[in-house]
Amino acid sequence: MEILSALFIEGIETRQVAGPSTRIDITGVQFSAVAAGPPPVTIEPHLCVIVYCPPDSRDNSVLEVVYRRGDEQLARNVQPLQVEPGKFNYRLVRAELTFDDYGTVEAHCRIDLGPVIVVPFTLLPPAS
């Protein structure tokens, strides 16, 4: 299996179209957000990881997402993946992240012990 995309999002919906085929509608792709107030602030952004299982691959793997600030591990999520060979699927990963100051957290995503995809998320000061 392989990761095709990993994005912080606001919403996701799937729908069937002719074929049969499925569409994934993703809304609110974001790499930053404005804090609701001064730090410390806890947020729970949704990370959407889209995966593909090639036709000649096994259908079971493990998705691991580690949230880091520099060398510090803030949260970790590990979940099983089952995707039919030749098909696509997605997983939503939600972590509770506490920011003691404004700045960036990186989600390090990988399947099994494969390559890591890094997705940054930055907390910005409240808008004035």
**Whole-model pTM?**
0.92
Taking residues 59-80, what's their average pLDDT?
96
Taking residues 71-80, what's their average pLDDT?
96
Measured between alpha carbons, how far is 68 from 115 in angstroms, rounded to an integer? Answer: 16
Cβ atoms of 126 and 102 within 8 Å: the answer is no
Architecture per CATH, domain 2-124, reads as: Sandwich (2.60)
Residue 19: which pLDDT band, with cuts at 50, 70 and 90?
confident
Residue 22 is predicted with a pLDDT of: 85
pLDDT tens by residue, 89-128? 999 999 999 999 999 999 999 999 999 999 999 999 987 7
